[in-house]
Amino acid sequence: MEVVAVNVVSDKHKQQKTELLKLKCSVQNYDWGRIGYESRVARLFEKNSDCIQIDDKKHYAEFWIGTHVSGPSFISDSDNVSLKSFIMQNPNVLGHVVVDKWGHDLPFLLKVLSVGRSLSIQAHPDKELAELLHKMQPNVYKDANHKPEMALALTEFEALCGFVSSEEVEHVLESVPEIKEIVGNTRLDQVLTLDKQNGEVKEERILRSIFTKLMSVDKDSISKALSKLISRLHKEEETRQLTSKEELVLKLEKQYPNDVGVLAALLLNHVKLEPGDGLYIGANEPHAYLYGECIECMAASDNVVRAGLTPKYMDVKILCSMLTYKQGLPDILKGVSINPYVRRYTPPFEEFEVDRCMLDRGASVVFHALPGPSVFVVISGEGTMCTSSREDIVTEGFAFFAPAGIEVRVTTDSELHFYRAGVNNKVLMNP
């Protein structure tokens, strides 16, 4: 049996040892989630909760592992004690680096998502804007934190992410008369006569003008434009193969009829991930998950500004004003191999990183003690998770909190697929 070590840390970084804690986690039943047992989230939640029966008519969208008030985790072997309460009473479990930087709370939130239909076109505010929005509308914007995030595909996964290039914007305005009619010839002429030597500032200003105009048009105009577009595409598919973006438009319109987000999708990158691929999204970047299942990790926040593909509250003015309008395809993360069983995904954010762990039959892996906390979630298979003072049989849906300063050894006699999320190592090693 092979044992592989991960995250070697010297003794001077180790904190006071505390038990590995098994967690009971929360689920979110948003309408875009998959239904009943079709949802991996539902299956994980049923295994995690032991006694809850899945409703085969209910949508199961997100499985949360963390301390956020909108979906807190609880200590399994306690009398309804939340992980947040436990940490507040025992801040040493975070380690001094995390406490000094973020206070007495977990700085990240880990989720599993089962996406049955598109999420809203949305962006997450930076810290300054998050504080302002929370102060102005605390019932809508539930906290004052920013929400950079990263998605790791469990299945084939599709998303809209960031704006297409200037050349593609020009192509959309020339080839989609329904959008041209809305944004007007003046904006089209601006794109066609763009002086490339003026750099990115002018391109950003024009894109901002086009997107804001599109998102701000009245519902009747959007409904008429979409009716024309859908009718035209159905007619044209009789004589030619539609592009993947055109096929996406037809799909989105069925999910969200008369929604401006269907048109807005033409201005955003359509990204397709294979299992194991990752995608990170910074503050003020437009995106929408379309289909598939993923692991998602983020700073501990639930702030979302929406402006399309949703029946929920939308704030078009805020969204259009906050976006970066950065253009071009996003980076696709492949992860860095730590050993034969573990790949690490490290986004350019301080709050988190994620390890994808795929153990073969008879394999073992050791996560050495870190000066910060971790959480684990088991996706499939069965194995054993051990510390110096505890041993747990683990299987699908099990989740754990690992305090700073404890070593965790994971073994399996079959196969085991799980994820570990923790604070970005660059922060832990260079406080």
| Correct CATH for 25-161+272-307 of 3.30.420.280, 3.40.50.280, 1.10.3660.10, 2.60.120.10 | 2.60.120.10
Residue 189 has pLDDT above 80, yes or no: no
Question: Quick check: 123 and 287 in contact, CB under 8 A?
Answer: yes
At 204 the pLDDT is 83
What is the pLDDT, as a whole number, of residue 10?
36
Cβ atoms within 10 Å of 165's Cβ, excluding its own: 13
* 91-95, 183-187, 332-336, 425-429: segment of lowest average pLDDT: 183-187
pLDDT category at 2 given cuts 50, 70, 90 is low
Mean pLDDT of 303-318: 89
CA distances from 422 to 280, 299, 350, 361 (A): 16, 11, 10, 26
* pLDDT tens for each residue of 385-405: 999 888 999 999 999 999 999
Q: Mean pLDDT for the chain?
A: 90
**Homologous superfamily (CATH) for 3-11+345-429:** Jelly Rolls (2.60.120.10)
Instruction: Looking at the structure, give the CATH architecture of the domain made up of residues 165-264.
Output: Orthogonal Bundle (1.10)
How much is the pLDDT for 346? Answer: 95
pLDDT digits (tens, 9 = 90+) for 279-303: 999 999 999 999 999 999 999 888 8
What residue ranges do the domains of the chain occupy?
Answer: 3-11+345-429, 25-161+272-307, 165-264
Burial class of residue 50 in the structure, from the number of CB atoms within 10 Å of its CB (0-12 exposed, 13-18 middle, 19+ buried) = exposed
Write out the catalytic residue numbers.
306
- Which stretch of DSSP H or E encloses residue 110? strand 108-115
Q: Which of these ranges, 15-19, 267-271, 278-282, has the smallest mean pLDDT?
A: 15-19
- 25-161+272-307 with 165-264: one CATH topology? no
Distance CA 324, CA 331 (A): 16
Residues 6+ apart with CB under 8 A from 73: 23, 24, 25, 26, 64, 65, 66, 67, 82, 83, 399, 401
pLDDT at residue 18 is higher than 80: no
For a pLDDT cut of 90, what percent of the chain falls above it? 75
Is the whole model's pTM more than 0.75, yes or no?
Answer: yes
- At 353, is the secondary structure helix, strand, or coil? strand
